[in-house]
């Protein structure tokens, strides 16, 4: 009896604190959320933060690279415009695309840089050449490999579907729209150039028709710099020779035309391109890299200019930021630029 009382008293003793202590459960992690919730959170964030977020975890990187994120950004109306350029560098056989990127921690310093597409640190989409015809949007892929594919979607729908293929595969083709028809020029292989250097797509009949051959002198072999409509004519601006070409859809004939005055990349400071971007003017120019006595490199610079109309009716421009964005070999060739929304 005495022994059982002693045992009962011993068991009733207070346990040491270290025996009672239990570690607090760790707070729930953001990564414990379902992927679909993380995806919609990422869709509401500016894409300028994606490079650093992609380093957080494999989950983040996978979601940032997914097509579903593009769908979510379209749904939340958070798509952003991006400015891209296409350059031919002397040490690379194929043209290279670069996208302008303003890093979040550099916004106050107003610094920007061009990042190559694709990049391990930043993953913008491969640029698409976007063409609007009525309520539909058409897209041609830029870059390699060569492709015959043209995509189409309604303005209210993010999902792309395939339109009828072009007659030949093309790389970095140029295109423009006139009277509901899409004109596509260049980018095909040498064997197909004579028979199908250019073609036109009728969006009503959904059929392709080959354009007449302009001849050896006007059939440029390099990437077409610009295709634009002026006075009902299709103007082809090239990166070679002393003349450009113009196509008359009514007579189905080609003619040579003198090059319009543009910045010369061999000048000490040369204007490369001016583009309307977010209601402002984006100016691109190059100059010889400083402290390079042998002039083997050039620095591409960029400035964003906002405009305002004063009381006297004059329009004034204000430089919001200006920065060197890329250093390239002096023998580089500027091919084309474009603005995409992603």
CA–CA dist 234, 247 (Å, integer): 5
pTM (predicted TM-score) = 0.62
Percent of the chain scoring above 70 in pLDDT: 77
Q: What is the mean pLDDT of the chain?
A: 78
Q: Which has more confidence, 229 or 189?
A: 229
Query: What's the distance, Cα to Cα, between the start and end of the chain in Å?
Result: 83
pLDDT digits (tens, 9 = 90+) for 108-160: 556 677 777 654 444 445 567 778 888 888 888 877 788 898 988 887 776 77
Which residue from 315, 310, 305, 312 is spatially nearest to 278, judged by alpha carbons?
Answer: 305
Q: Choose which CATH entry (2.40.50.140, 1.10.3470.10, 2.120.10.80, 3.40.50.720) describes domain 128-258.
A: 2.120.10.80
Q: Is the pLDDT of residue 266 over 60?
A: no
Mean pLDDT for the stretch of residues 185-197:
82
Going by pLDDT thresholds of 50, 70 and 90, the confidence category of residue 11 is: low
Sign, Cα dihedral of 109, 115, 119, 123: positive
Percent of the chain scoring above 90 in pLDDT: 11
Q: Which has more confidence, 340 or 328?
A: 328
On whether the CB atoms of residues 133 and 182 are closer than 8 A, the answer is: yes
CA–CA dist 293, 297 (Å, integer): 10
pLDDT digits (tens, 9 = 90+) for 27-76: 666 667 788 888 888 889 888 788 778 888 888 888 887 778 878 888 88
What backbone phi and psi angles, to 5 degrees, belong to 70? Answer: -60, -40
Report pLDDT for 295.
Answer: 62
On whether the CB atoms of residues 322 and 100 are closer than 8 A, the answer is: no
Q: 306: which residues sit within 8 A by CB, 6+ positions away?
A: 280, 317, 318, 320
For the chain, domain boundaries = 27-79, 80-124+263-342, 128-258
């Amino acid at each position: 009896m005495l022994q059982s009382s002693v045992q009962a008293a011993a068991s009733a003793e207070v346990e040491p604190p270290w025996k009672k202590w239990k570690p607090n459960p760790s707070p729930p992690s953001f990564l414990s959320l379902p992927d679909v919730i993380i995806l919609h959170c990422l869709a509401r964030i500016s894409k300028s933060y994606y490079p650093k977020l992609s380093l957080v975890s494999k989950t983040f990187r996978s979601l940032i690279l997914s097509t579903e994120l593009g769908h979510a950004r379209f749904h939340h109306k958070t798509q952003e415009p991006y400015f891209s350029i296409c350059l031919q560098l002397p040490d690379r056989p194929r043209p290279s695309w670069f996208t302008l990127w303003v890093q979040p921690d550099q916004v106050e310093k107003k610094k920007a840089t061009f990042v190559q597409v694709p990049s391990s640190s930043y993953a913008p989409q491969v640029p698409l050449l976007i063409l609007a015809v009525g309520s539909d949007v058409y897209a041609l892929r830029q870059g390699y490999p060569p492709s015959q594919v043209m995509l189409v979607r309604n303005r209210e729908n993010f999902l792309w579907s395939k339109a009828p293929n072009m007659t030949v595969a093309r790389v970095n083709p140029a295109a423009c729209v006139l009277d509901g028809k899409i004109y596509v020029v260049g980018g095909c292989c040498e064997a197909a150039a004579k028979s199908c250097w250019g073609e036109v797509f009728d969006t009503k009949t959904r059929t392709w028709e080959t354009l007449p051959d302009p001849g050896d002198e006007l059939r440029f072999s390099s990437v077409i710099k610009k295709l634009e409509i002026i006075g009902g004519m299709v103007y082809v601006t090239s990166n070679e020779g002393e003349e450009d070409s113009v196509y008359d859809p009514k007579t189905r004939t080609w003619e040579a035309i003198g090059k319009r005055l543009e910045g010369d990349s061999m000048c000490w400071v040369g204007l490369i391109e001016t583009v309307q971007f977010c209601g402002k003017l984006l100016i691109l120019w190059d100059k010889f890299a400083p402290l390079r006595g042998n002039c083997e490199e050039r620095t591409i610079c960029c400035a964003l200019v906002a405009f305002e109309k004063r009381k006297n009716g004059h329009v004034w421009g204000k430089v919001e930021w200006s920065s060197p964005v890329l250093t390239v070999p002096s023998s580089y060739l500027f091919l084309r630029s474009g603005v995409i929304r992603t």
